Amino acid sequence: MRRSPSVLARLVRAVLAPVLVATAVLAAPTPAQAASLTQVSGFGSNPGNLAMYAYRPDGLPTGAPAVVLLHGCAQTANDYFSNSGWRKYADLWGFALILPQQNSGNNSTSCFNWYQSGDTTRGQGEALSVKQMTDYARSTWGTAAGRIYVSGLSAGGAMSSVMLATYPDVFAAGSILSGIPYACATSLVAAYSCMNPGVDKTPQQWGDLVRNAYSGYSGSRPRVAIWHGTSDYTVATANATESRDQWTNVLGVSQTPTSTSSLPAGTSLETYGDDVVRLYRISGMGHGTPVDPGSATDQCGTAAAYFLDTICSAYRDALFFGLDGSTGGGGDPEPGTPAAPTGLTVTASTAGSISLSWSAVSGATGYHVYRNGTKATSSPVTGTTYTDSGLTAGTSYSYAVSAVNASGEGAKSSTVSASTTGGSTPVCVTASNYAHVVAGRAYQSLGYAYALGSGQKMGLYNTFYTSTLKQTGPDYWVIGC
């Protein structure tokens, strides 16, 4: 059993407010629902030394989805199961819950070790243990391979980032609650800087950290929802923006939202690209999982320490994941339409074309391809490959695929990004962020500079912070050259 260095206990107690949540007792089952949270043993080699708990509603069929829930520091799997609200929707819409549990032998305050490379690398430690739990669910319960999701709070939110980055071939989507971008820290000391005041990197730098987590992977990437309270003083709110920068870059969409909307409890929702990234900012909320106790469909959870009575995040995430019956999430297809395709992959790229392939969907009679959120196919293609031609050289594109049958068009797949080759020699300029703004290559907001067009965050707006910008189109600049 691994032991954390003694400094861990001292520093965590000094800096983190422990999540003092008493282990909740499961409510007595009703005659219609006898299922309960159960520990599962023998799920794999378990190199991260985690415990596995699971909840499967009565009568759950083969092929049902599953959601992995990662608790916060000093919490247990039962705490998160009892208070987060996810059980309500597992019962209502029919999906399994998988709840990994940390132990004090790994971390003195039972935080997932999101900052230790041995636990955040594909094929190692805690990350592999969690992945083995999903393997067990598929092999033992018949969980749908293309419909596994992950969500977590605080250290669990940071670990959710880890799972999305290291296993994009396992998770279709995920959510990060009061969490931290992937690979922000690789040591305990650096972890505190990530938590507060946060670490500033460019979207490209953040995105590269995710891409390097599974080097050479060219398949589809999971969609991501980010939740953060504006009064969170444990994990600084800057982390919400940095996580947004990381995942929009990975998914190949702009850091400028395509839409914004207002939700209950002072919540604002920003969507990015074709709803591939969401950012929820909850006005006045501190550090915790947003819940909204009540009996309405969009209400859930129990208010407690670090379960904060604002808005039901489990409900919003379940809709985003498509667990209400909209399959791929982000849409509301008609009943009887096929599931969202999985396995979308870029197979080739030239100066004027990008070729794609994906896995066949049972019952589908054809497929539509979406480029940058807009349908690129006027009529369905009959196979599981497509070459998008007539493109601009040296340009990045984002793709998704939907399946169709006699009932209509189903939900879209996760997106994948690709770039055409060639193109003219780009214009590259290295200057201070102040000079970039004065020259019209960037703009400034709240003390930071952003590249014009792409909206990529360049760092502080002053004469001392230097950036290199590349022009890729009229009034469109990106970081790097």
- Say whether 328 sits in a helix, a strand or coil: coil
Q: Which residues are catalytic?
A: 154
DSSP letter, residue 334: P
H helix or E strand, kind and range, residue 226: strand 223-229
Looking at residue 209, what DSSP letter applies?
H
SS (HEC) of 135-192: HHHHHHHCCCCCCEEEEEECHHHHHHHHHHHHCCCCCCEEEEECCCCCCCCCCHHHHH
Question: In this structure, are residues 257 and 244 in contact, taking their beta carbons and an 8 Å threshold?
Answer: no
- Token readout for 209 is 């950290």
Are the C-beta atoms of residues 118 and 87 closer than 8 Å to each other? no
Closest CA to 440 of 398, 469, 413: 469
**Residue for token pair 């959870």:** 301
Tokens encoding 87: 């059980």
Q: Distance between CA atoms of 220 and 144, rounded to whole angstroms?
A: 17
Distances 328 to 61, 383, 424 between C-alpha atoms, Å = 18, 20, 38
Please tell me what DSSP assigns to residue 13. Answer: H
Q: What phi and psi values does residue 79 have, to the nearest 5 degrees?
A: -55, -50
Token pair of 134, please?
Answer: 């999903």
Angle CA 319–324–327, to nearest 5: 85
Largest Cα span, the chain? 70
Cα–Cα distance list, 228 to 70, 298, 382, 422, 466 (Å): 16, 19, 43, 40, 30
Structure tokens at 382: 């009959």
Q: Could you tell me which residues are beta bridge partners of residue 457? A: 450
Q: Using CA atoms of 357, 362, 366, 372 in order, give the dihedral in degrees to the nearest 10.
A: -50
Amino acid at 211: R
State how far the alpha carbon of 354 is from the alpha carbons of 382, 383, 387, 462, 477, in Å.
Answer: 18, 16, 6, 40, 23
Query: Distance of CA 477 to CAs 428, 440, 442, Å?
Result: 9, 10, 8
